[in-house]
Amino acid sequence: MAYYVGIDLGGTNIKAGVVDDTARVLSKGSVPTHGDAGPETVARNMAEAAKQVVQQAGLKMEQIDYVGMGAPGPVDFDAGIVRTAPNMRGWTNIALRDMIAKHLGRPSVLENDGNAAAFAEFWAGAGKGDVVQHLIMLTLGTGVGSGLVVDGKIIHGARGAAGEAGHMIVHPNGRQCGCGQRGCLETYASASRTGIRAAEAIKAGKPSSLKASLDQGKEITAKMVFDHAKQGDKTAQEIVDETIMYLAIGCVAAGGVLVEARLVFDVPMRGSLALLFGETLLFILASLSLGILVSSRTASQRVATMGAMLVTMLPNLMLSGFIFPIESMPLPLQWFSNVVAGRWYVTIARGIMLKGVGLEYLWRETLILGGMTAVLLAASARSFKARLE
């Protein structure tokens, strides 16, 4: 039996665990990162986390075959160097692999955290088995990491920077990102930026029940935003809707990179749910620290939400060419289909995610959007028939 230590370096916390060669988790734990203290302090914290989980597993460090670690940002896999970590200051060309190997006395491997998570899912999780050969994974936390598995292999790309979906631009000239660009996905869809955007909106004068916490000097977290949104706070709901929208944009863009790839989410928060996106199985996270599962909702709310989800597939199937070839639709209809699909996404996501959303909202939106979808289908069918004639 072989044993391995896995270490995940996050901007806020360091997580570690021990697994065997059958992917069985033997122990796990977490310690604060203290990223501002510098790379050497962080390396010591990572080593300490590893020692703790090895002890919890009832093993000795000498029994560990390899230590694998995931770090944010571009990583030189061969050299074991973190080229840069956008959310940790002073991290440029850090030889983290050798630092950890020295602290623990075990052979070590360094990988980008998104790549490591993607391959873990491919090996032992959502991609396990012979059916899935291509996989895209998004990890949501302090930032947005990602990894690509193509034909069963991690894609590193030039300088180890391939697959950084968190730095796809989803809003031209948008918010400043730590990588230097503007409008990156992680500036809108990460947990940390969700809280920051809410705080900025309140400081700009928008009314919110979160203002009391802000006035007390408390940090506004994503969990607080989603908690207040489900309680009916309009400003929090606007932030939630914006997060959902940009995450959906990122999902569609990522899905276009690898057609028929499985898209997997990893979120260090409680509760998750997935939405089905047309042509490929694209899973949109529906639980940024909400702790709400569908099972906690009433039966009627579940029926309304799932019914709306099924109807949502119609405009997407049209755009995917399953009902009408996309080229048969005039540009105004293509645009209208996107508008309908986008509004469906927001409706369903809110219906699933926010416990405070009632049946009146769900049924109203279902009727309105159902009518819009019916008009869209009829107009598209007429256009398609005219082309055939």
**Residue 129 located in a structural domain:** no
Based on the fold, state whether residues 150 and 277 are members of the same structural domain: yes
- Residues of the chain with pLDDT > 70, as a percent, come to 66
Point out the least confidently predicted range of 52-56, 145-149, 261-265, 333-337: 333-337
Kind and range of the H or E element at 348?
helix 331-353
Based on the fold, state whether residues 305 and 257 are members of the same structural domain: no
CATH of the domain at 26: 3.30.420.40
Calpha distance 199→286 (Å, rounded): 21
User: Which amino acid makes up residue 266?
Assistant: D
Based on the fold, state whether residues 206 and 249 are members of the same structural domain: yes
Residue 348: its pLDDT value, please? 54
Based on the fold, state whether residues 47 and 196 are members of the same structural domain: no
**Residue 175 located in a structural domain:** yes
| End-to-end CA, the chain | 68
The pTM of the whole model exceeds 0.85: no
Based on the fold, state whether residues 316 and 368 are members of the same structural domain: yes
Average pLDDT, the chain: 76
Sign of CA pseudo-dihedral 85, 89, 91, 97: negative
DSSP conformational letter for 35: G
**Residue 130 located in a structural domain:** no
Higher-pLDDT residue of 4, 248:
4
Based on the fold, state whether residues 7 and 113 are members of the same structural domain: yes
Last residue of a domain, one of 124, 150, 184: 124
Per-residue pLDDT reduced to its tens digit, 342-370: 565 555 555 544 444 555 666 676 677 66
Integer-rounded Cα Rg, in Å, for the chain is: 23
Last residue of a domain, one of 292, 311, 334: 292
CB atoms within 10 A of CB 21: 10
**Residue 58 located in a structural domain:** yes
Per-residue pLDDT reduced to its tens digit, 291-328: 223 333 455 544 554 554 555 445 444 444 444 444 45
DSSP string, 183-195: SBTHHHHSHHHHH
Higher-pLDDT residue of 261, 296:
261
Point out the least confidently predicted range of 92-106, 130-144, 183-197, 285-299: 285-299
Q: Residue 17 belongs to what domain range?
A: 3-124
Sign of CA pseudo-dihedral 345, 365, 243, 228: negative
Calpha distance 374→291 (Å, rounded): 35
For the chain, how many structural domains are there in total?
3
Based on the fold, state whether residues 139 and 282 are members of the same structural domain: yes
